[in-house]
Chain A
């Protein structure tokens, strides 16, 4: 009965470096989401996967951000050439897939706190 897990819990990197953030969703959840939460803000949608494919990546801020989910389970968020403005908590959530038009509860992981120096 494990929940959504994310690794690492904290990541400190230098400006210009590449980072990967990992998310393990709840077993059996076909939908996976990435959000970014800046200090003093609510989570902001980045990308949504249904299975292996990115069904909606409209929230990714620019082409330095990319996410994959090759086997429909674990997902990795990749950030190239990190900038100080990328510093935030990156949250992953997963949910069951319900029929279209039905809201489905998203279960959140604890997040990865990314600090870009």
Chain B
């Protein structure tokens, strides 16, 4: 079973701080996706990383895929209250390009 473990589970910080959240697995994934989910909404895709060692930037968010494609990280610079939400990582299960395995998520709260 391919599991994705996310840490920390909860994170509460002040506006302007930097943070990093992690997504780890003992299995290799062909790609990993990061989603943000707000209360009462479905997950919204932020980025897909495909190549080992890849780094992608989305404004203040930096995503990195591990060289071995078993882990990923999300770094947020100068967090804002609008960044508050549940950050989920997900990857397609081995042998499938559609059946996603999700981590439990990191619940981020950015206080003004």
Q: Are A43 and B100 in contact (CB under 8 A)?
A: yes
Q: Is B31 an interface residue (CB 8 A)?
A: yes
Chain A binding surface SS class: loop
If A33-B98, A48-B99 touch, does A110 touch B41 (CB 8 Å cutoff)?
yes
A-B interface contact total, Cβ < 8 Å: 63
What's the minimum C-beta distance from A97 to chain B, rounded to whole angstroms?
9
Within 8 Å of chain A (Cβ to Cβ): is B88? yes
Within 8 A of B (CB), among A32-71: 33, 35, 40-45, 48, 56, 58-59
Judge if B85 is at the interface, Cβ distance under 8 Å: no
* A42 lies within 8 A of B90 (CB): yes
We find that the number of chain A residues with CB closer than 8 angstroms to chain B is: 31
Q: Which residues of A contact B78 (CB under 8 A)?
A: none
Residues in chain B near residue A101, CB distance under 8 A: 97
Q: In the complex, A45→B97 CA distance in Å?
A: 13
Chain A residues with a Cβ under 8 A of chain B: 4, 9, 31, 33, 35, 40-45, 48, 56, 58-59, 91, 93, 95, 98, 100-111
